[in-house]
Amino acid sequence: MITVPVGLGDRAYDVVVGAGARRLLPDMLPPGVRQVAVVTQDGVEVDVDPGVEARTFVVPGGEAAKTLGTVERLCRDFAGFGLARSDAVVAVGGGVVSDVAGFAAAVFHRGIAYVNVATTLLAQVDAAIGGKTGVNLPEGKNLVGAFWQPTAVICDTEALRSLPAREWSSGRGEMAKYAFLGDGLLDDGRPGASLLGLSLDEQIATCVAIKAAVVSEDERESGRRMVLNYGHTLAHALEAAAFGPDAKWDLRHGEAVAIGLVFAAMLARRLGRVDDERVALHRRVVGAFDLPADLPTGASARELVDFMARDKKARHDLTFVLDGPRGVEPVHEVDEAAVLATLADMGCAP
């Protein structure tokens, strides 16, 4: 097992990575817990035993589960179960489950403990760590939520054995992001070589350690933590544009992030922050993780910019996380014309 600490003072917690890690769950619950509400989705075939009285609650599958209605239903279920403030929620699943269950834990009894048992690669390298929870509105992704840190995170790599190929792609998109955030992850002249050369447990633990360091420095995304959004502003716009029954394309989150990484590099080049070789490096890294680099057919530049402008990570201007001479950092007040031109360079329709 590999243990990665997330240093947040009296709210510090550990992330445990390794095969069979879920069996440590009873030891990772806070003292005094007598009941546990296990929140999961259909199709998550990972058994957990918290060692105390437990009841399982199933939320709908997919991004459509991330609604205020789902959170209300969970809170009512918790109340019906008799969950006390001294009890805990255990989220078993991917990023959707941790978002919804974490938000419900944050607001039920004004906040109760919860543990993430991450069962997808995306959740293990990113979504389950850091305390950001939230649900969607028709106006955009994750517009309602809370910062609510888990008391522990369990990344059991046994749970990944039956993961579908597209879910692997989703997690690898976040890994590609971390290749640009971590020191020495792009060495040896081969993009992502030192990350891709590690064992799976070590890959996950490396990504977790990078995120833990950033979260420890900036828990509530007031500064440094914004670098974790690298590639995400366009990614969320692509996801929002395809949200609902009339979706124009099918992209997993990590696939959208990969496209967003290439876009961010091209935008940085247009703004004079990086050169052509740095853009080419982004494309090579994305390719090394076997991820898409091109915008989906039918994407509209105007529509995407409109979604970017109201993304939860924006202020009252167009804000992007971009590469540059000082590395990856937030850049505010980006000219909309530059964004539109970059999208056009990627073959996007007006």
| Domain range summary for the chain, segments of one domain joined by + | 2-160, 165-345
Torsion angle (degrees, nearest 10) of CA 164, 233, 104, 116: 50
Is 236 in the active site? yes
Active site residue 109: no
Question: How far apart, in whole angstroms, are the C-alpha atoms of residue 36 and residue 234?
Answer: 38
Q: Indicate which residue of 132, 141, 273, 313 is catalytic.
A: 132
Indicate if the pLDDT at residue 343 is higher than 90: yes
**Distances from the Cα of 302 to the Cαs of 91, 237, 293, 337, 343, in angstroms?**
37, 11, 20, 11, 9
Tell the CATH topology of 2-160: Rossmann fold (3.40.50)
Residue 82 CB contacts under 8 Å (≥ 6 apart), including other chains: 35
Between 307 and 192, the higher pLDDT residue: 307
Q: Please confirm, yes or no, whether 253 is among the known catalytic residues.
A: yes
What kind of architecture, by CATH, is found in domain 165-345?
Up-down Bundle (1.20)
Query: Given this model, what pLDDT does residue 271 score?
Result: 97
| Annotated catalytic residue, options 63, 167, 221, 239 | 221
Q: What is the pLDDT of residues 295-307, one digit of tens each?
A: 999 899 999 999 8
With a cut of 80, say whether residue 192 has pLDDT above it: no
Sign, Cα dihedral of 311, 251, 205, 325? negative
Mean pLDDT of 47-57: 96
Give the Cα separation of 157 and 136 in Å (integer). 29
Q: Which of 225, 273, 282, 313 is catalytic?
A: 225
- Burial label for 303, CB within 10 Å (0-12, 13-18, 19+), is middle
Alpha-carbon torsion, ordered 248, 253, 259, 262, to 10 deg: 160
Q: What is the pLDDT of residues 204-225, one digit of tens each?
A: 999 999 999 999 998 888 788 8
220 labelled catalytic: no
Report d(CA 329, CA 243) in Å as an integer.
Answer: 28
* Residue 343 backbone dihedrals phi, psi, to 5 degrees: -60, -40
pTM for the full predicted model: 0.88
Mean pLDDT of 108-136: 96
315 — pLDDT class (breaks 50, 70, 90): low
**Catalytic status, residue 211:** yes
Which tokens belong to 135?
A: 């649900």
CA 54/CA 257 separation, integer angstroms: 36
